Structure 1
Amino acid sequence: MARLKMTVIYIRRRQTMKTQLRSRIPWQEKMNRPAEPRIVPVPKKWQRQYGTGTMLIATPKLVDALMRKPPSGKLVTIRAIRERLARDHKADSTCPLTTGIFVRVVSEASNEHLESGKKRVTPFWRVVRDDGSLLEKFPGGVQAQAKFLRKEGHNILAGRGKKLPRVKDFERSLICL
């Protein structure tokens, strides 16, 4: 009984902590840090998946520019962003780890702008996974992203089990970067 009570307390504290986590540095400041894109050799442990050759380490500004491309009612995948970045910088691939981090930075910075009342923000909610599922790390989670996408006319299929909600027939709404 005591062990069960301790577990419940731990879970409640953990949930409270999750909702209270905030970045010490404003996301907008993280996005505007001066940085140049770098091209490096593909790490050995990634060569099986990404092949040999060169890999682009992008910047938040580059990711932001591509996230702004899809108009209302259209979507873009993270893979399409990575492929376009690699093509533009003449690299074989783009680092998926840093691209994912920068997508998060851009979305959080955009959310800061929304909260401060700015009208023109990066439409981060138009970015989906390669299978059309929503991104849980966006501000407000999948619920907020689904709300934005519904306003733009997309139908959202509920997630089942551990699967995340996804955009119905998302392939029709994808843009080519």
Structure 2
Amino acid sequence: MVKSWTDRLNTPGINGIKPTPRTMSDVIEGQSMLVPTPRQVDDFIRSIPQGVEMDVRALRTALAIEHGAEVTCPVTIGYHLRTVSEAAAEDLERGAALADITPFWRVLSSKTPTTKRLSFGAEFVAKQRSREGLEP
């Protein structure tokens, strides 16, 4: 059976801080790296106030600091941003109010690579960003 995005969001993950195995993106081998769970990413995004945006790199930095690491895994964050976004869309489909879902559009824009992979497309993201006065 295929798990829903909401199931993936709520599956307890193995998170923690470990040494970065290799240099990649803006991460240097040996740095302490947070490998977050989808729920940790969701909780953090929910804490971003309405009308405030944070790009993925800033999100990774803030998550790392919050959890006592130097960096956050760039690969894991991409997976989890998609999970958080798709789970929020499932909540909307089930009748949740927009105000009650995770405001992933405060991190993802129409230019973010993850946005192109979302099942519901970039138009929803652009509309919500515009509604909050953020650049689409």
Q: TM-score, normalised by structure 2?
A: 0.84
Q: Out of 85, 94, 106, which is 1:116 matched to?
A: 94
- State the Cα distance separating 1:47 from its structure 2 match: 5.9
Which amino acid in the other structure matches residue 94 of structure 2?
S
Figure out how many residues of one structure are paired with residues of the other and give that number. Answer: 131
Q: Which amino acid aligns with 1:26?
A: S
Query: Which stretches in structure 2 are left out of the alignment for 5+ residues?
Result: none
Contact 1:138-1:145 at 8 Å conserved across structures? no
1:107/1:139 contact within 8 Å kept: no
Q: Kindly report structure 1 stretches of 4+ aligned residues shifted beyond 4 Å.
A: none
Q: Structure 1 151/57 Cα, relative in aligned 2: closer, same or farther at 3 Å?
A: same
Q: Structure 1 residue 152: deviation in Å?
A: 2.3
Alignment match, 2:3: 25
Q: CA deviation at 1:72?
A: 2.4
Q: Return the alpha-carbon distance in structure 1 between the equivalents of residues 106 and 25 of structure 2.
A: 30
Per-residue deviation, 1:37: 1.9
Match of 1:148 in 2: 128
**RMSD of equivalent CA atoms:** 2.2
> Which protein is bigger by CA-based radius of gyration?
1
2:116 counterpart SS class:
coil
User: Which residue of structure 2 lines up, in the alignment, with residue 16 of structure 1?
Assistant: none
Q: Answer 1 or 2: higher relative contact order, Cα 8 Å, separation at least 6.
A: 2
Q: Percent same amino acid among aligned pairs? A: 36
Alpha-carbon shift at residue 53 of structure 1 (Å): 2.0
